[in-house]
A and B are shown apart, each in its own frame.
Chain A
């Protein structure tokens, strides 16, 4: 009995760690840069499939692949904001208009990224093996790769949180999140900061995808479901809050794991119910202001 409960709880936490990391990325992109990036899951898919390719072609260890995938994802995100979203921001009449048009543009990105991936990798499901030996946690057995995934997800979240709280650039990002206009008046290079945020968001998604690829099979269509889950996590935790994303991510992971144990076909329905409840009781999310 205890092993069965532990089984569900630990599985939920492992899943939750990935949800949390990716959600921090979206939280930055929407909470600070105001871009509701529907293509967020696609960056994740790119991270996962690039890791697979590096592993297959060069035999590269996924942990080393982080050093390649992370910076590349960051640069793609940064450049996207400097070109596309900066222009949209300039031509939009209001922040509301910008949110609408940037969301539609990110739908365009979703199609572009997914189909470039379809052309490069085709639609077959792919997987590689990495640290598949079992590890026992109080009697419940888990593959070692999933523990590595969780450890890295938490470590990335903590590092980024410290970066936001401790450094000068982190302060500028937090200022831009509160009030972009005033931050700009105080000497923050706002376009630079927003582009950096978008880049960091893409970085989180890319690394999240890399971590997912260690323990789950992947295909080019995997992004959409993660995008939906991420949106729910961010709504649950509160836009722009890193602790909120972690609380939301782990809660959703746990709920998903419990529901999957009882009735495997209904996990998304459970997430939705939760989403509705949060929006009704506290629309700003758990940690939202």
Chain B
């Protein structure tokens, strides 16, 4: 490592700490509206960063975020009355972790595409199973969630996000991060170098699910009433993918920038023009995939390097 990279990493760490501190000040100096908006942006950033943690290096597109988030939401709805908040979040996170462990162990041996399909259907499956259980045994459709004040939600969400960022960063820099990259390059070759491919993939997948579950458990308290259709909404599976693709998956900040952009757009457009917002969402996804293979960040790097490198920008 040369001095240039050390300085660079110091700057990026400093920047990260500055951003977190600035975010921490939002409830003290910002309006309640700003705080709620920031909460939802941090939620999307947390979902996207945890999605990238697994799907970024391995290239296996997981469409299960909504299932894990829903798991957290239902934990908060069913245990919120009996347990203190930190415990509820821990249980929600652990529940998602276990579900991901099961799903990962069953499907991560399969070819990449089957994994995507299975995880996508998992959201609908969970929705149907929970709905069936509620109608059959509790004879209700939805549940009320214990209400918590917005400032607490904000700080808890921020704390989860910070823990997630540190975990994701440490994982990326560790030998496991390198092993995940190797799996993404060529699974068979990685297996031949002695990496236990399925085990590593399953654990990373479960770790990412843990943070999605925690996010769901705290965000549920903001919605006050939930039912299986709200909790297991496939939309929450697509958002992280779009935000990561749009921001650029290869870098650390790309997904966060993507989350911030779409979090703001959603706030501006979703309530007033829901169909047009979702339509634009689709168009941006298609355009980003066809014209920006490396996302917004890729565009910026390409622009910095100048036209000379433009031809070999995509590997």
Contacts and interface: CB of A to CB of B under 8 A. Distances in A.
Nearest to B55: A100
Interface in B41-80: 59, 61
A50 interface: no
Contacts, number: 112
A238 to B, nearest CB: 13
A84 B286 contact: yes
Contacts of B59: 96, 100
Given A231-B117, A265-B128, A276-B106, A107 B279 contact: no
A116 interface: yes
B278 to A, nearest CB: 4
Contacts of B124: 224-225, 228, 268
A114 interface: yes
B234 interface: yes
Contacts of A231: 117, 121
B135 interface: yes
Nearest to A99: B113
Interface in B142-164: none
Interface centre among A109, A265, A276, by most chain B C-beta atoms within 10 angstroms, is: A265
Contacts of A111: 238, 278-279, 281-282, 285
B290 A100 contact: no
Given A109-B282, A111-B282, A104 B234 contact: no
Interface in A215-247: 224-225, 228, 231-232, 235
Nearest to B129: A269
Nearest to A280: B106
A187 B128 CA distance: 49
Contacts of B116: 36, 103
A159 interface: no
Nearest to A97: B59
B279 A116 contact: yes
Interface string A73-99: 000000000001001100101001001
B132 interface: yes
A135 interface: no
A155 interface: no
B289 A104 contact: yes
Given A228-B121, A266-B128, A269-B125, A96 B112 contact: yes
Nearest to B132: A265
Given A110-B282, A115-B278, A272-B125, A104 B245 contact: yes
A273 to B, nearest CB: 10
B289 A266 contact: no
Nearest to B133: A265
A99 B113 CA distance: 8
A84 to B, nearest CB: 7
Nearest to A88: B290
Contacts of B136: 265
A21 B282 CA distance: 27
A116 to B, nearest CB: 6
Interface in A251-275: 263, 265-266, 268-269, 272, 275
B210 interface: no
B27 interface: no
A118 B281 CA distance: 14
Contacts of A88: 289-290
A224 B110 CA distance: 23
Contacts of B314: 91, 93
Contacts of A235: 114, 117
Interface in B234-258: 234, 238, 241, 245
Contacts of A55: none
Nearest to B131: A265
A101 interface: yes
Given A265-B132, A266-B128, A283-B110, A108 B241 contact: no
A112 B275 contact: no
A119 B128 contact: no
Nearest to B118: A275
A279 interface: yes
Interface of B: 59, 61, 106-107, 110-114, 116-118, 120-121, 124-125, 128-129, 131-132, 135-136, 234, 238, 241, 245, 275-276, 278-279, 281-286, 289-290, 293, 314-315
A-B complex: 7 closest residue pairs judged by Cβ atoms: A111-B282, A265-B132, A108-B285, A108-B286, A112-B282, A115-B279, A118-B275
16 contacts: A36-B113, A100-B112, A105-B285, A108-B284, A108-B286, A109-B282, A112-B282, A115-B276, A115-B282, A224-B124, A225-B124, A232-B121, A268-B128, A275-B118, A276-B106, A283-B110
Interface of A: 36, 38, 84, 87-88, 91, 93, 96, 99-101, 103-105, 107-116, 118-119, 224-225, 228, 231-232, 235, 263, 265-266, 268-269, 272, 275-276, 279, 283
